[in-house]
Structure 1
C-alpha cells in the first residue's frame, strides 16, 4: 500500500471567478493600505495567484480601481428587472430609493467611498472617475425613476436630478457617514433604510 500523501487539487476556477477573486483581494488591499501604497504584488499575494495571472486580467492598479467602481452596473440591472413588474409610480420610487441606499451603503461601496475620500487630493483623476461613474450615474438613474411620478407641488421646471439629490439626502443624510466611520449591523441598517425611505416619501411625495 502506497504511503505517499494524497495531494488535493484546488478547484478549477472560471475566468469570471478568478476576476472576482482578484477584485475582492484588491478591495481588501486598497482598504488596508490605501490606493497609493497598494501594489499589484500585494493584490496578487492576497488573491493567492501568480502576478502573471493578475496582469492577464488587469494591466495596472487603475484598471483594478475601475473594476471596483463598476459594480454600480448591478444596481441598474436590479432596477431593470424590477421595472418589468407591475408597480405604481410611488412603489417604483420606494423600490428605487431602497435599492439605491442598499447599494451606496454596501460594504464594497463604503470601502470605495472611504478610499476616494482619503485619496482625492493625491489622485484627483480617481475622484473624477468615481464622481462621473458612480455619483452622476446614481443621480441620473434616480431622476429617470422620478419621471413617472408627479412633480411635487411648486417644483415644475426644476431639474429632476436636483429633486433626486433631495431624495438621496433625505434617505442617506448622516447615515452614510456613520456607516463609513462606525460600521453597522446589516439587519439594523436595512431597517433604518426602510424607515428613512418611508419618511422621505411621506415628506416629499405625499399620497
Structure 2
C-alpha cells in the first residue's frame, strides 16, 4: 500500500472527501511518518497526527488506539517493500552468485532508502526514552531483513547451491559487511538523504561475493 496523504488544507475545502478504508489508513500512516520525522516519537501526539492527516481525533482513534500501534503499522507498511518481499519467494532460479547478487542488492536498496534511513534515525534518537518503540522498529525492520535473508540462504544450502552451516549468522555478517560505513554515512548525513550511487553498491556486492565465494563454495561462473 503506497503512503499518500491528501493535504489538510484541501481536505477542509467544500464537503469532506469520502475515503475508502485503505485510503484513510494510508493517509494516517503518511501523516504519522511526517510527524514522527519532524518532532520525534516521544513528542508526537495522536492530536498532532490527526491534524497532520486533516481528520478528527475520533477518526484516528477508530483506526489506531494509540501511537505505538500506529508506529507498528507504519513499520510493517515500510517493511512490505516489494523488493524486500521478493526475498520470501521460494521459486528463485539461476546460478548461486546471481541469486546472492540480486538478494544483496534488494537488501541494500531497502535499508538505505531515504524513508528507512529516517525511521532508523528516529529509533536511535528515541531509544533512551522509548525502548519499546526501538525494539518494535528493530523487529519489524532490520531484524526482519536478516530473517528474510537467512531463510533464503537456508533454502539455497538445502538445494545444494551454496555451503552455509549457519544461515542466521552468515546473513547477519553479509548484511553488515554490505552496508557498513555506507549506512553510517546515510544516518549522519541529514542534509543529503539520497541513497548511495548504484555503482557503489554493486561494487561492494561484487567484492563481498569474491571474499566469501571459497567458503560458500560458489562456482566461478
Q: Normalising by the residue count of structure 1, what TM-score does the alignment of the two structures yield?
A: 0.82
Report the alpha carbon displacement of residue 8 of structure 1 after superposing the two structures with TM.
Answer: 6.3
Alignment of 1:20-31 (within 5 A): 20-31=26-37
Quote the residue 1:117 is aligned against. 124
Pick from 175, 195, 200: which aligns with 1:168? 175
Partner of 2:87: 79
Are residue 134 (structure 1) and residue 141 (structure 2) matched? yes
Q: How far, CA to CA, are the matches of 2:134 and 2:186 in structure 1?
A: 20
Q: Hey, what's the Cα distance between the residues in 2 that align with 1:205 and 1:56? A: 52
Q: Secondary structure at the match of 1:173?
A: helix
Q: Within 5 A, what are the aligned runs for 1:1-207? A: 12-70=18-76, 71-74=78-81, 75-80=83-88, 83-84=90-91, 86-147=93-154, 148=156, 149-151=161-163, 157=165, 159-182=166-189, 183-186=192-195, 188-205=196-213, 207=220
Any gaps of 5 or more consecutive residues in structure 2? 1-12, 215-219
Shift of 1:128: 1.9
Structure 1 unmatched ranges of 5 or more = 1-6
Query: Does the 8 Å contact 1:27/1:111 carry over to 2?
Result: no
TM-score by length of 2: 0.78
Q: CA 1:128–1:80 in 2, change beyond 3 Å: closer, same or farther?
A: closer
Hey, what's the Cα distance between the residues in 2 that align with 1:43 and 1:121?
23
Structural RMSD (CA): 2.3
User: Deviations for 1:142-195, whole angstroms, at most 9, x for unmatched residues?
Assistant: 1122231422xxxx64x2211112211221001111112213435x53332222
The question of whether the paired residues in 1 share the 8 Å contact of 2:111 and 2:142 is answered with no
**Preserved contact between residue 23 and residue 68 of structure 1 (Cα < 8 Å):** yes
Measure how far apart 1:36 and its partner are: 0.6
Instruction: Provide the residue aligned with 1:3 in structure 2.
Output: none
Count of aligned residue pairs for this structure pair: 194
Q: CA deviation at 1:85?
A: 5.0
